[in-house]
Amino acid sequence: MPHVDLKFITRNLTADQQQAISDDIIAVLKKHFNSSDDSVSIMMHEIPADDWKSEVYQPIIQANMNSLVKKPGYTMD
């Protein structure tokens, strides 16, 4: 039962755009985890660019850098 918590800089996505992203994520999870549509949950958090460092980079990315499967190609000192 995968759960995806997607954080991204605010893009003001429409409901249709959010649904398209969700559909694509579900397709990947179905392929690699043999998940069903009913077993997947997805949250989308639009984070203002000015808050990215304090809300996402420092507490989530930087604090877990050694555990990330894909590390970012940027730093925020």
Active site residue 48: no
CA–CA gap between residue 38 and residue 18 (Å, rounded): 17
Contact call for residues 56 and 7 (beta carbons, < 8 A): yes
Residue of 2, 48, 59, 72 with catalytic role: 2
CA distances for 48 relative to 20, 43, 52, angstroms: 22, 16, 6
Active-site residue numbers? Answer: 2
